[in-house]
Structure 1
Amino acid sequence: MTKQLIKLRAINKSYQNGDQELRVLKDIDLEVEEGEFLAIMGPSGSGKSTLMNIIGLLDRSTTGNYWLEDQEVSQLSEKKLAQVRNDQIGFVFQQFFLLAKLNALQNVELPLIYAGLPAAKRKELAKQLLEKVKLSERMTHLPSELSGGQKQRVAIARALVNSPAIILADEPTGALDTKTGQQIMDLLTNLNREGKTIIMVTHEPEIAAYASRTIVLRDGVITEDKRKGGS
């Protein structure tokens, strides 16, 4: 039986702009099951990045409830949120966010430092993940010595190193050429086949096509929710 990983109920997000309230998300209801590959699409300003940030516990909703693996996370303290985020969510961003003075291996080790793992165990796990993304020859290279695609592979290895329940990918191919972008999407697809739940923000239909399910946001509302081979 498929396990429900995420449940959002009546999620609203508003910002105050002077005298006016700007509603970015409006009564969002969303469920994501274990092993899904979900693409979030929508025009600029539709709320897709805001929704991603709330799912990733980088931002809080104004109102509404969020359950992550049966834990209600909406009201957790910042310290507890950071712990849940580090344990259960891996992040892949368009701009990679690798630390320039650390080599590939050290960048992948970072989440394990926060998790309190001993140095030898950290290094071994980081090596395994870099081998998994086919970067064993680049472990000691700094980000400045890596191509865009190689940087994104390091970022994916870093996202996987804590064995999170969910990988969040925000425009993962946005800074890459078409061929390299396809290679990164093939890697994410393989991870999904291995059982990883992937939630991805993209504005490109050809990238969304890799996902098994696509939702479309417009003006802060989910207007479409389609699964491959179904409605």
Structure 2
Amino acid sequence: MHNDQSRKLIELSGITKSYKNGDQELQVLKGIDMTVYEGEFVAIMGPSGSGKSTLMNIIGLLDSPTSGDYELNETHVEELNEKKLAQVRNKEIGFVFQQFFLLSKLSAKENVELPLIYAGMPVGKRKELAVQYLEKVELAERMNHLPSELSGGQKQRVAIARALVNSPSIILADEPTGALDTKTGNQIMELLTQLNREGKTIIMVTHEPEIAEYASRRIVIRDGEITQDTTDSVRID
């Protein structure tokens, strides 16, 4: 729950996205305005084709809007070149995807180290941080296993450790439980909830209402527009 002291991490103003399809123009996002404050846990929901994945890709700097203004942690994104965008993405955003995207020939620990390699961190510090974050997701005893030797839930824990290892401002989770059974999915959501309690800002795309319930704010998108934005009243834990 944000108060007046909370910092704005993300401010989207009038974000549109269209694709050319022959001589047709397909408008996927139609003027999205959205502010996310530090420490929020936001679920973005909507039917297939609503624009929620496109919005997630724009927030994650994987795609750029056709028009509108995006400010991420006080940086105007549209002013950045490709190289700078990649640097900001690596520093500010940790990604968790439905399909895990672990490299099959690397151990759990080496997968977690990847963002730190891109960031140019020395090898000793890198290994230390990878172990620390695998401990955080309760997977240290599997750190030398390959992805093929891990269950779906364990793979997602590795992916979460990899997303956290750079201390990003935001965790972006795209259908993080989509490939998992219900029990394992709930364990992953408990882990994300715990990280949010510790202060991490989390933005998650999901089409499952029971998964969205874990978030404290739910934004519904239909036909490229926000149709609902509800925040839970303050929960006393």
Give the TM-score range, shorter chain: over 0.9
Asked if residue 26 in structure 1 is aligned to residue 41 in structure 2, the reply is no
User: C-alpha deviations, 1:18-77, integer Å up to 9, x for none?
Assistant: 010000000100000000000000000000000000000000000000000111012310
TM-score (norm 2): 0.96
Superposition misfits of 4+ residues, deviation over 6 angstroms: none
- Which of these residues, 131, 134, 137, is aligned with residue 130 of structure 1? 134
Which residue in the other structure is 2:108 paired with?
A: 104
Listed as ranges, the matches of 1:212-231 within 5 Å are 212-229=216-233
- Which of these residues, 19, 38, 51, is aligned with residue 15 of structure 1? 19
SS of the aligned residue for 1:54 comes to helix
User: C-alpha deviations, 1:126-171, integer Å up to 9, x for none?
Assistant: 0000000000110000000000000000000000000000000000
SS of the aligned residue for 1:74 comes to helix
Q: Match of 1:120, as an amino acid?
A: G
Listed as ranges, the matches of 1:1-231 within 5 Å are 1-229=5-233
User: C-alpha deviations, 1:58-99, integer Å up to 9, x for none?
Assistant: 000000000001110123101000000000000000000000
Name structure 1 gaps, 5 residues minimum: none
Name structure 2 gaps, 5 residues minimum: none
**Counterparts of 2:170 and 2:233, CA distance in 1:** 23
Task: Give the superposition deviation at 1:229.
Answer: 2.5
Q: Match of 1:70, as an amino acid?
A: E
**Counterparts of 1:55 and 1:76, CA distance in 2:** 14
**Counterparts of 1:2 and 1:26, CA distance in 2:** 28
Range with bigger deviation, 181-190 or 70-79? 70-79
